[in-house]
Structure 1
C-alpha cells in the first residue's frame, strides 16, 4: 500500500502542513522536527505525487484542453499529438468537451476556479470565445489549435488551408480538368474561407476561373456532400472535377456521382481535404489534401509547455503545411 503524507505526519507526530514544508525546504520548521520528519520519510519510503509537488510549487503539471467534441474525424490525431508531447515532458492532460453545452462549460469553469491546470489548449467550441478571452487576458496561457474564426488575440497553431486548396486546383488543372466545382464547409469557419480563397485565387490566375454556378455550401458531412453533388447535377453546368472542403463531404460526392452514373475519375475527378483514415479505403481511393492534425497537436502542446517554462508565446500563428496525397479519385 502506498504511504501517504498523512501516515508520515502521524509517525513523525506533526501536521501534514509541517511535512509539506519539510518536503519543499521551507525554512520555518524547527531543525529537530525536520530531521525527525526526514527520518520517517526515509524509513517508510514515502514519495510525494507529482500533482502534490506541483501544487506546492504553484504548478499542477497538468494542461487543460477544451474541444467541441470527439466525433470530428481528425480530433483523435490532434489529441494523440498533444498527449505524446505532454507525456514526454511529464505533464498530464485534463480534457474537457462541450458535449452537454452549458453543463459542460460549467464543469470546465469549476476546473478553472480550482486551478486544475497550468495552461489551456483550445479547439474553439461554439459560444465560449468571450469566456476564454477573459481567461487569457487574466493571465492563463492559451494556445488555440485550428483557429477557425481567425482570432489574432490568441497564440495559435494552424495549417496552410489556402495553399492546400491552391495545390488541389493546380493538380486538377495539370491533369486536364477545366471545369472545377467546389463544395465548401459552413462559411463562418476561417478554414472554409481560406480554402475557398485558395481555390478561387489559383483558378483566377488561369483561363479557368471558378464558375459561380459550380459553388455549393455544404455542412462537412457525408450526406451534405451527396446532397451538394446532386444539386450540382441539376444545374445543367458541366463540370469534370469537384474539390470538397473535407473528406467526409468528398466521400458523399463519390456516393452522389456513383448514384448518378458518373464514373470517377473518368468523368469527374474528386479531391477532399484532411486525409482521414477512410480516404485511403474509398472506391476509388480518395485524393486529398493532408491536414497535419497530429503535428498541429504536437506543435501546440510544445508551444504551451515552452511558455510555462519561460518562453514567450509568438504573436504570429505557427503554420504546419499541408500536402497533397494523390490517389485514384484524381490521379496524376
Structure 2
C-alpha cells in the first residue's frame, strides 16, 4: 500500500502542513515535533513526491519543451542535446508537441497554468509566437531554439549561422565549376530559409554568377519536394543542386540518378544539416553541418544558468555551421 503524507500526519499526530514543512526543511518548527515527524517518515518508509516537494519550494526541477512535431528529421538530435544537459543537472524534461493543433496547445496551456515546469525550451510552432511572447513577458523563462521566424531578439535564443553556412555551400560549388545551380528552399516564411537563400546568392553574386530565378524552387524540407524540384527542372540545364536540408537533397539526388544523369559527374548535390542519412546516402552527401545537438545543449544550459541566478542573454547565442565534403560533389 502506498504511504501518503496524510498517513504520516496521522501517525505523528500533526497536520499535513506540518509534515510538508518538515519535508521542505523549514526551521520554524518545534525541534521535538520535527524529530517525531522524521521518525514516523522513516518507520513508515514514506517517500515524498519529488515534484510535490519541488512545488512546495516554488520550483519543480522540470523544464518544458514545446516542439512542432517529433517527425522532423533533426528533432531527435536537438532533443538529445537538451535532455543530456538537463539530466546531468538533475532536471527532468516534459515534452509537448503540436501534432493535434489547438487541442495540443490547450493541453500545453493547462500545464503552464499548473506551473508544471520551471522554464521552457521552444522550437517554435507555427502561429504560436504571440502566445509564447505572453508567457515570456509574464515571467516564464523561455529560450528559443532555431529561431525560424527571425524575430530575434524577441526571446533569448540559440541558433546557427544559416547565411554563412549557405554561403559556404555556394563557394564550394563555384570552386568546382558549377555555375548553374538548382536551389530547393524550405518554406520561405521561415527565417532560416531566407538566410540560406541570401547566403547562397551572396556567393554566386560575388563570383559574377547571378542565380536564375527559374531555378529556385520553394519546397517544404521533404524528400518528395526534392524529387519534384528536379523533375520539374529537367530541361533547365542545371549542373548542381543546393537543397536546404538533407532530406530534400537526397530526394533530389535520387531523381537525378533516375533521370540517367550521374552524381556528381553531371550534377553535384549539397544538403544542409548533416543528419546520419547524409553520410549513408549513395553517394554520401556533401552538406552544411548544423550543430543540432550543441544547440539543444546550449539552450538547456542557458535555462540552468538562469535558475542559478544568471540573467538570460539579451543577444542570440550563435553556434557556427561547418561544411562537410563528401562524394556527392567531389566523387571521392
Could you state the TM-score of these two structures normalised by the residue count of structure 2?
0.95
| Mapping for residues 70-219 of structure 1, pairs under 5 Å | 70-151=70-151, 152-219=153-220
Instruction: Please state whether the residue corresponding to 1:329 is helix, strand or coil.
Output: helix
| Distance (whole Å) between structure 1 residues aligned to residue 213 and residue 185 of structure 2 | 13
| Distance (whole Å) between structure 2 residues aligned to residue 44 and residue 55 of structure 1 | 23
In the alignment, what sits opposite 2:303?
304
In the alignment, what sits opposite 2:36?
36
| Distance (whole Å) between structure 1 residues aligned to residue 268 and residue 140 of structure 2 | 47
| Distance (whole Å) between structure 1 residues aligned to residue 2 and residue 84 of structure 2 | 28
Instruction: Please state whether the residue corresponding to 1:289 is helix, strand or coil.
Output: strand
In the TM superposition, what is the alpha-carbon distance from 1:162 to its structure 2 partner? 0.6
| Distance (whole Å) between structure 2 residues aligned to residue 254 and residue 51 of structure 1 | 50
| Distance (whole Å) between structure 2 residues aligned to residue 209 and residue 251 of structure 1 | 25
In the alignment, what sits opposite 2:314?
315
Deviations 1:147-205 (A, max 9, x none): 00012210000011111111111111122222222111110000000101110111111
Judge conservation of contact 1:303–1:313 (CA < 8 Å) in 2.
yes
In the TM superposition, what is the alpha-carbon distance from 1:44 to its structure 2 partner? 4.2
Query: Which sections of structure 1, spanning at least 5 residues, go unmatched?
Result: none
Instruction: Please state whether the residue corresponding to 1:330 is helix, strand or coil.
Output: helix
In the alignment, what sits opposite 2:240?
241
In the TM superposition, what is the alpha-carbon distance from 1:208 to its structure 2 partner? 2.0
Instruction: Please state whether the residue corresponding to 2:96 is helix, strand or coil.
Output: strand
In the alignment, what sits opposite 2:294?
295
Q: Does 1:228 align with 2:248?
A: no
In the alignment, what sits opposite 2:281?
282
| Distance (whole Å) between structure 1 residues aligned to residue 295 and residue 35 of structure 2 | 49
Deviations 1:100-134 (A, max 9, x none): 11110000000001000000000011121111111
| Distance (whole Å) between structure 2 residues aligned to residue 203 and residue 2 of structure 1 | 68
| Distance (whole Å) between structure 2 residues aligned to residue 297 and residue 183 of structure 1 | 26
Instruction: Please state whether the residue corresponding to 1:233 is helix, strand or coil.
Output: coil
| Mapping for residues 242-261 of structure 1, pairs under 5 Å | 242-261=241-260
| Distance (whole Å) between structure 1 residues aligned to residue 324 and residue 59 of structure 2 | 42
Judge conservation of contact 1:159–1:319 (CA < 8 Å) in 2.
yes
26-35 or 291-300, larger mean C-alpha shift: 26-35
Instruction: Please state whether the residue corresponding to 2:94 is helix, strand or coil.
Output: strand
144-153 or 10-19, larger mean C-alpha shift: 10-19
| Distance (whole Å) between structure 1 residues aligned to residue 100 and residue 81 of structure 2 | 25
Q: Cα RMSD between the aligned structures?
A: 1.6
| Distance (whole Å) between structure 2 residues aligned to residue 2 and residue 162 of structure 1 | 57
169-178 or 142-151, larger mean C-alpha shift: 169-178
Judge conservation of contact 1:216–1:232 (CA < 8 Å) in 2.
no
Judge conservation of contact 1:67–1:97 (CA < 8 Å) in 2.
yes
| Distance (whole Å) between structure 2 residues aligned to residue 172 and residue 25 of structure 1 | 64
